[in-house]
Amino acid sequence: MVSDIHTEWVWGEVIEEACVTHFQHTTVMRTEVIQALAPRDGAIYVDCTVGAGGHAEGLLEAASGATVLGIDRDPSALAASAERLARFGDRVQLVRGNFADVGKVLESRGIRRVDGLVADLGVSSPQVDDAARGMSFRHAGPLDMRMDPDAPLTALDLVAQCTDDELAEIIYRFGDERRSRRIARSVRRAYSEGNLLTTMDLRRAIVRAVGPARVGGVDPATRTFQALRVAVNGELDALEGLLGTLSSILNPGAMVAMLSFHSLEDRPIKHTFAIRDVWEPLWKKPKMASDEESFDNPRARSAKLRVARWLGELGERD
């Protein structure tokens, strides 16, 4: 379920336990996103996943009279973007919240509609690299996986609440893992025996079920970790919520840019933009990162950028 809206201004405030210097993130396909949105003076844009502020910075630099509302549920990200974007003053507003609630966020700020929107989906590099977040089996850490550290459900909580069958369904649905039943039984067994506390424990349980062999260079734990993270953070529910809200928050002709990193994210975006009476895709196929960018930033290799123009008309309430 998508969590209730939780917003807070960050200018002039101290965000507890947010270490700006450790939130270092390389913006994916920044140039392509800014060129596609073509910012203009006087326009209002939303960065639904402001992160370290790379895309927001690009928008603000490209049009000196534009304003950006940045949303993120990670207070560390907001602290980093606040520092990076401070030079733009009141041209940027930063709000802590879930982008599925973008309509409520805009309404609370007195903004009816916007002229463009960008969403860089999935987990950020700083979140993956921080062992304390428990996002990756490359770092020993607690089984947490929350993007919002104040969210009530951790990955360990999720495993504890699920039956074998329920956990298998999560791993299959959100990880596209065909061996989900074997993995679920092994993970649940490790939990019942008191041997499931860390990311390393989880990986060991997965390897016990399917073996250590890599398939096409992919670690056997990759899909299960993705599935649990997506479920813990309600990522697909949030994306569906955002896509369903777009028509009520966009001005006619507004551009929407969405970066996805796996097919579960890309599929609903593709289907939404395929509604041709209200959407005009900028390209027939998604744009991929250049070889140079992928070499410099390996995270960009799986990125797909889809951009479309909203052709709908304003409703009666406008």
Entry pTM? 0.88
The answer on 179 and 92 residing in a single domain is no
Does residue 130 belong to any structural domain of this protein? no
Where is the domain boundary, 197, 232, 267?
A: 232
Query: Parallel, antiparallel, or unpaired: how do β-strands 279-281 and 92-96 relate?
Result: unpaired
Does residue 7 belong to any structural domain of this protein? no
Residue 298 is part of a domain; what is its CATH number?
Answer: 3.40.50.150
| Contact between residue 91 and residue 64 where contact means Cβ atoms under 8 Å apart | no
* Dist CA 119 CA 165 (whole Å): 33
Does residue 5 belong to any structural domain of this protein? no
Does residue 45 belong to any structural domain of this protein? yes
The answer on 254 and 289 residing in a single domain is yes
The answer on 211 and 142 residing in a single domain is yes
By CB atoms closer than 10 A (0-12, 13-18, 19+), residue 248 is middle
The answer on 299 and 176 residing in a single domain is no
What pLDDT sits at residue 13? 33
Residue 164 is part of a domain; what is its CATH number?
Answer: 1.10.150.170
What pLDDT sits at residue 315? 54
The answer on 112 and 24 residing in a single domain is yes
Domain that holds residue 35: 20-120+235-310
The answer on 275 and 197 residing in a single domain is no
What pLDDT sits at residue 127? 81
Q: What is the number of structural domains in the chain?
A: 2
Where is the domain boundary, 184, 207, 232?
A: 232
The answer on 239 and 225 residing in a single domain is no
Mean pLDDT of successive 10-residue segments in the chain (318 residues)? 34 35 70 96 97 95 96 94 96 96 95 96 82 90 95 97 98 96 98 97 97 84 96 96 96 97 95 95 94 87 95 65
